[in-house]
């Protein structure tokens, strides 16, 4: 055994090599996992951006909306003159509400996937894991 084979065997013990040729699907699943992870992180980022940042976000619209509902103030007191033109502090509220709905749906779907995976991984050994 020459020196290069010894070094190669040492590195093979420290850092495992790629899966065997019979397991070619490994790389497809790994690449798919990376792409899907980036895709869903982007979706979550833009939903949160629309919810929190777009035209002031939803949080600066909550207090004026509650004041208009439960006090003698009207939405005109907060600068609202009409939907497409001058909305005052309520500018961008349709986008914020849609982003809130989509964010809640997205979080619920992620929760369901997590719970399904958790049940599958904790299933007894004798049962079918596809449930």
Residue 22 has pLDDT above 60, yes or no: no
Two structure tokens written together for 78: 């907060």
Distances (CA, A) of 60 to 70, 78, 99: 17, 11, 15
Least confident of 13-17, 87-91, 110-114, 125-129: 125-129
Q: What's the pLDDT score for residue 130?
A: 56
pLDDT at 121: 81
pTM above 0.85, yes or no: no
């Amino acid at each position: 055994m020459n020196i290069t084979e010894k070094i190669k065997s040492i590195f093979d013990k420290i850092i495992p090599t790629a899966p065997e040729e019979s397991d070619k699907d490994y790389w497809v699943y790994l690449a798919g996992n990376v792409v899907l992870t980036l895709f869903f992180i982007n979706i979550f980022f833009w939903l949160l951006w629309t919810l929190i940042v777009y035209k002031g976000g939803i949080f600066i619209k909550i207090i004026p909306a509650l004041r208009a509902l439960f006090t003698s103030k009207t939405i005109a007191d907060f600068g609202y003159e009409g939907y497409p033109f001058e909305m005052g502090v309520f500018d961008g509220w349709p986008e914020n509400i849609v982003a809130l709905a989509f964010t809640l749906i997205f979080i619920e779907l992620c929760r369901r996937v997590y719970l399904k995976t958790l049940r599958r991984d904790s299933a007894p050994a004798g049962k079918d894991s596809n449930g």
